[in-house]
Amino acid sequence: MNRTAMRASQKDFENSMNQVKLLKKDPGNEVKLKLYALYKQATEGPCNMPKPGVFDLINKAKWDAWNALGSLPKEAARQNYVDLVSSLSPSLESSSQVEPGTDRKSTGFETLVVTSEDGITKITFNRPKKKNAINTEMYHEIMRALKAASKDDSIITVLTGNGDYYSSGNDLTNFTDIPPGGVEEKAENSAVLLREFVGCFIDFPKPLIAVVNGPAVGISVTLLGLFDAVYASDRATFHTPFSHLGQSPEGCSSYTFPKIMSPAKATEMLIFGKKLTAGEACAQGLVTEVFPDSTFQKEVWTRLKAFAKLPPNAVRISKEVIRKREREKLHTVNAEECNVLQGRWLSDECTNAVVNFLSRKSKL
Ligand SMILES: CCCCCC/C=C/C(=O)SCCNC(=O)CCNC(=O)[C@H](O)C(C)(C)COP(=O)(O)OP(=O)(O)OC[C@H]1O[C@@H](n2cnc3c(N)ncnc32)[C@H](O)[C@@H]1OP(=O)(O)O
């Protein structure tokens, strides 16, 4: 049937919006901009937003795309949107698909894969093309997955990454999505989100294990100080370029790192941005054990499956005994770090570093 000869109904439009969420492959920035522009035109009509500033790279690209549609009628924009999505259909997949005969897989996550099997809930960062950078959606999904894992029947919970990276840390494009209240509101919202996010790690009631499959950057490193064990491939590296980004430590690392590795070693990492190999991180106590990459998955999962057979109540109670006397202190540190960062995010040092990263790639 020739779709262009038809009028797309509201239902067709909504189906297409849902299909976009199921895209298997990233359609690329150009197509994403077209989809954005057609969606806005179909729902709001011609571009009605003030033109973003020159440094607001992403919003400016979006504005340009929407504005370029001029006075295209809403119905035509809706039809073009449906046609464009249908032309992308070979790269669609159903996210509700559950692999047959394997473990229980939770659906409803865009940025994670969450499975539960053999007493282990595994939360996998799943943005491999972006080196598992943590965008706003992913912060929320990780919190949701942790809250569910704390209540499910698993004994231990594991975080790991899909692809060659464990995680490249905070997604720097998070800083470009500026709300109507401006950059101050953005900084405040981010500090609230960060505090809640780190709080979930402080309060997590079961043993939390990191399976660090590759390089880790920024917040994905600092959080390791709140894990109960950290197993790393010898491909992994550990790096917190906070000063380079005009930022300051988070994830309670200003407290945990000096305790774990000595104040001077913590300074080298957190202030001077020294990158550690997995072996160095292990020697300094941040990593529990390092495995050759060729046998990493096999060895680690064999070990974790054995741990997960331990009596659940004893495991949970022991975690509580260990965490209890530190919990209040950790929450205080978390609040202080978020406060300091809120100010840093408004600094020229931070703005320039983020603009440099984004414009280096001319990214959206
Ligand atoms: C609620 C807010 C809380 C904030 C908490 C504070 C957190 C602080 C931090 O985590 S600080 C650390 C931030 N991370 C970084 O500075 C790393 C930035 N990325 C890089 O330096 C590099 O991408 C790399 C070294 C990780 C990998 O380099 P390379 O192997 O050359 O790959 P690419 O650079 O081509 O990356 C592929 C693809 O991924 C995108 N990407 C990677 N990391 C990030 C990131 N952190 N933020 C946004 N995007 C990232 C990269 O741009 C490429 O995208 P493209 O293919 O160009 O679309």
Q: Atom 21, ligand 1: which residue's CA is nearest? A: 168
Answer whether 358 contacts ligand 1 (Cβ < 6 A).
Answer: no
pLDDT score of 328: 98
* Whole-angstrom Cα Rg for the chain: 22
Matching fold, domains 8-86 and 110-360: no
Alpha carbon of 171 to ligand 1 centroid (Å) = 6
pLDDT tens readout for residues 151-165: 999 999 999 999 999
Give residue 359's pLDDT: 85
* Residue 146 near residue 200, CB atoms below 8 Å: yes
Nearest CA to ligand 1 atom 29: 131
CATH of domain 8-86: 1.20.80.10
The reply to whether ligand 1 has any atom less than 6 angstroms from the CB of 161 is no
Nearest CA to ligand 1 atom 17: 168
pLDDT of 26 higher than 50: yes
| Residue with CA nearest ligand 1 atom 31 | 131
The per-residue pLDDT for range 248-279, each reduced to its tens digit, is 999 999 999 999 999 999 999 999 999 999 99
Verify whether ligand 1 is closer than 6 Å to residue 190 (CB atom): yes
Residue type, 171: D
Q: Which of 175, 95, 91, 187 is nearest to 141 (CA)?
A: 95
For the domain spanning 110-360, the CATH number is 3.90.226.10
Contacts with 323 (C-beta within 8 Å, 6 or more apart), sequence order:
202
In tens, the pLDDT along 107-121 reads 789 999 999 999 999
Residue at token pair 């189906």: 15
Contacts 24+ apart (CB under 8 A), 174-181: 174/135, 174/136, 175/345, 175/354, 176/56, 176/57, 176/58, 176/59, 176/354, 176/358, 177/58, 177/59, 177/136, 178/56, 178/59
Amino acid at site 107: T
Q: Is 173 in the pocket of ligand 1 (CB under 6 A)?
A: yes
What residues does each domain of the chain span?
8-86, 110-360
What pLDDT is attached to residue 102?
A: 44
Q: Give the model's confidence band at 16: pLDDT under 50 very low, under 70 low, under 90 confident, else very high.
A: confident
With a 6 A CB cut-off, is 130 part of the ligand 1 pocket? Answer: yes
Q: Can you give the pTM of this predicted structure?
A: 0.77
Residue 137 and residue 112: Cα distance in Å, rounded? 10
Report the range of poorest mean pLDDT among 9-13, 94-98, 136-140, 191-195. 94-98
Between the CA of 238 and the centroid of ligand 1 the distance, in Å, is 14
Tens of pLDDT, residue by residue over 229-254, are 999 999 999 999 999 999 999 999 99
| Strand ranges across the sheet with 104-106 | 104-106, 112-117, 120-125, 156-161, 208-212, 229-233, 289-291
Lowest mean pLDDT, pick from 7-11, 62-66, 170-174: 7-11
The structure tokens listed for 49 are 């937003």
Pocket probe mutation, ligand 1, options 57, 126, 130, max atoms within 8 Å of Cβ:
130
223 lines ligand 1 (CB under 6 A): no
- Ligand 1 center to residue 161 CA distance, Å? 14
Summarize the confidence of residues 74-89 as an average pLDDT: 85
Quick one: average pLDDT of 58-80?
89
- Check if 337 has its Cβ closer than 6 Å to any atom of ligand 1: no
Q: What is the pLDDT of residue 33?
A: 87
Nearest CA to ligand 1 atom 39: 130
Residue 301 has pLDDT above 80, yes or no: yes
**Number of the ligand 1 atom closest to the C-alpha atom of 136:** 1
> Quick one: pLDDT at residue 6?
57
Looking at residue 236, its pLDDT comes to: 98
Inter-residue contact 124 to 117 (CB < 8 Å)? no
Could you tell me if the CB of 363 is within 6 A of ligand 1?
A: yes
Residue 170, ligand 1, Cβ within 6 A:
yes
Ligand 1 probe mutation, 29, 131, 345, most atoms within 8 A of CB: 131
